[in-house]
Amino acid sequence: MKMESKIVLFDADSLVYQSIYKVISFGEIRDMLKSGKLRFEIEMEILQRGYDRFEKISFDILNEIEEHFHVEKTMYFFTKCKNNFRKEIDPQYKANRKKPNRWISELRNYLIEYWNNSFAHDEYEADDLIFYNAQLLNVNDYIICSIDKDLKQIEGLHFDYYQLKRYDENGEEFKVRKGFKNMTKTDCENLLCELFLVGDACDNIKGVKGIGEVKAKKIIYSKNSTYGKFRAICEAYKTESEFWKEKLRMNYKLLKFQ
């Protein structure tokens, strides 16, 4: 039976973090220095290990996808935007995040230069680039590969490669990926509406105080139309301050892909 062909749009940012995490120990570095290795050689060893792990993780994911689809092409998107447009909208955007480990940036730059079909932009994040490229394709032609919930604003098939812990009948641990989920237009709209209410703590985007994920779902899923959902969001924002319109407009620009 002929498999359906898909273009895989990879959110590579999370892969970079996984690839460099504990890729080398301080003990190994100490031993390398004692053996006479130069600092430059050690740095290249770290980058090569990260590159090799990135290759293994991404190929493992692709192998799982290829059990169901023929992978026609892969595209890898990275966030490397010194002039992030969202910072102009809100200077506090992602201000709660710690400065990333040096090797995350080093490996990202290395992959952008040497990995095939890698993309980055000075103003837009990986999520925005994936959204833009998805719009150029037919919704049935791509799979979005990511663990990022925000990307599920994009209609179509998603593959969440996050690994969940499971236990067999003997109590032995094993891992299984979250896997495939098809997002309809309604699913995407509901998720964006939820984000307006809850905000995004990871990106330092404040939602409506006192509204968490459960309450947001209850509000949104009780409405049968886009207009009804929008009115409910407005009513929730009104409870905060007289400047609720400004906050809602700002959150719209921050949360919705451009």
Per-residue pLDDT tens digits for 91-118? 999 998 888 788 899 999 999 999 999 9
Please state, in angstroms and rounded to a whole number, the distance separating the CA atoms of residues 212 and 71. Answer: 38
All domains in the chain, ordered by first residue: 5-183 (3.40.50.1010), 187-255 (1.10.150.20)
pLDDT surpassing 70 at residue 1: no
Taken in order 98, 212, 165, 53, the sign of the CA dihedral is: negative
Confidence of residue 65 (pLDDT cuts 50, 70, 90): very high
* Among the ranges given (17-31, 46-60, 63-77), the one the predictor scored with the smallest mean pLDDT: 17-31
What per-residue confidence (pLDDT) applies to 36? 87
Write phi, then psi, for 80 (nearest 5 degrees). Answer: -145, 70
Residue 244, pLDDT > 90, answer yes
Kindly tell me if the per-residue pLDDT of 219 is higher than 80. yes
SS3 238: helix
Q: Residues 126, 79: contact at Cβ < 8 Å?
A: yes
For residue 158, the surrounding DSSP H or E stretch is: strand 156-167
Is the model's pLDDT at 145 over the cut of 90? Answer: yes
The overall average pLDDT reported for the chain is: 91
How many residues are listed for the chain in this entry? 258
Contacts of residue 231, defined as CB under 8 A and 6 or more positions apart, other chains included, come to 223
What is the mean pLDDT of the segment spanning 35-51? 88
Of 175 and 1, the one with more pLDDT:
175
pLDDT per residue as tens digits for the range 2-19: 789 999 999 999 999 999
